Amino acid sequence: MEQIWGDVRREPGGLRRECIPLGYSRRSRGGHVSITRWTVTRTWLLLGCVFGFLSVAGGAFGAHALKTRIPADLLVVWDTGTRYAMLHAVALLATGLIAARVPGPSTTVAGVGFTVGTLVFTGSLWVLALSGQRWLGAITPLGGLSFLAGWVALALAAWRWPTT
């Protein structure tokens, strides 16, 4: 049975599952690879929690351990990375909640954009602050572009929100 977008069927135990085509599997017949809506929702919610935890830990580390060890300008860089990590952790939580109601490619792109953006943007700023290697600042805008893509995709998902 070919699974298409919006295909809902009964699973063992009476659970409903919506199949989301992600691409083609390695099977010779080219069937769709599907994941459940809950898996997508849970992924963004868990990543939001992990990034929220890391941003709080990073903020505490910067405020207490780094305050006397790195110059003030690099401490500002550390703080910027921490703020953006927390903001986009909350965005990932929102993405997970929206994905539960409006599954589709736009919520997936939003979640990937926020995740990659946090890793690249915050990661490059944190490494720059710790190492003093200023060339890492050239990588940071790539994370910012990923954030922007995530926000546009989340706006598209919000636009698709059902009115009934």
* Residues whose CB is less than 8 angstroms from the CB of residue 82 and which lie 6 or more positions away in sequence, other chains included: 55, 58, 59, 62, 122
Instruction: Write down the pTM of the prediction.
Output: 0.77
Contact present, 88 and 118 (Cβ < 8 Å): yes
Helix ranges restricted to H, 65-119: 72-101, 105-117
Query: CB–CB of 2/32 below 8 Å?
Result: yes
What average pLDDT does this structure show over 64-90?
96
The residues near 56 (Cβ < 8 Å, ≥ 6 apart) are: 86
For 110-128, write each residue's pLDDT tens digit: 999 999 999 999 999 999 9
Main-chain phi, psi angles of 93, to 5 degrees: -65, -45
Least confident of 8-12, 37-41, 77-81: 8-12
pLDDT tens by residue, 20-73 = 444 433 343 444 444 566 788 899 999 999 999 999 999 999 999 999 999 999
